[in-house]
């Protein structure tokens, strides 16, 4: 699975667990059910849920009666934390090195670097304001109720 897909899979899995009220081991949701909701392969879901487990966001157990459940309320899980949990980044890249003697090449890398830093900061700040509960409250999504 590409790194770019880990975050969407993780956010979807957490929202699905919240929707299913999977807040304890007796309400665990199997990886096959999570995968069918996306749709993706259960192996992909298990890889991502393992990362979410290491981050302390979900609990999980293996086996025929296995599955995952939330360890925190959906309101307390923000998307910046989810992004970090799956080693994702909202990073736009790195400015190329400058070229001495070029009136543009000497100055533009610093300007591009500043723009990238500002965009990365804005993305991280925005993700910190969105919780898993907010995802479910979006138009067209079922309520957690």
Given this model, what pLDDT does residue 106 score? 82
Identify whether the C-beta of residue 16 lies closer than 8 Å to the C-beta of residue 32: no
Given this model, what pLDDT does residue 99 score? 79
Cis upstream peptide for 107 (omega within 30°): no
Given this model, what pLDDT does residue 79 score? 95
Instruction: Report how far apart, in Å, the C-alpha atoms of 23 and of each of 15, 49, 63, 74, 125 are.
Output: 12, 15, 19, 10, 27
Ordered by where they begin, the domains of the chain are: 3-88+131-137 (1.10.10.10)
Given this model, what pLDDT does residue 142 score? 61
Given this model, what pLDDT does residue 145 score? 46
Instruction: Round the average pLDDT of the chain to a whole number and report it.
Output: 87
């Amino acid at each position: 699975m590409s790194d770019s897909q880990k975050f969407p899979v993780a956010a979807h899995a957490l929202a699905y667990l919240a929707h299913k009220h999977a807040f304890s081991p007796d309400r665990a949701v199997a990886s096959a059910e999570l995968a069918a909701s996306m749709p993706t392969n259960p192996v992909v879901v298990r890889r991502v849920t393992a990362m979410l487990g290491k981050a302390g966001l979900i609990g999980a157990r293996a086996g025929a009666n296995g599955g995952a459940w939330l360890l925190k309320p959906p309101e307390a899980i923000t998307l910046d934390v989810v992004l970090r949990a799956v080693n994702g980044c909202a990073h736009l890249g790195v400015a190329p090195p400058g070229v001495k003697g070029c009136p543009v090449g000497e100055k533009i890398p610093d300007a591009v670097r500043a723009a990238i830093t500002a965009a990365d900061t804005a993305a991280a700040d925005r993700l910190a304001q969105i919780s898993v509960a907010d995802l479910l409250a979006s138009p067209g999504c079922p309520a957690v109720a």
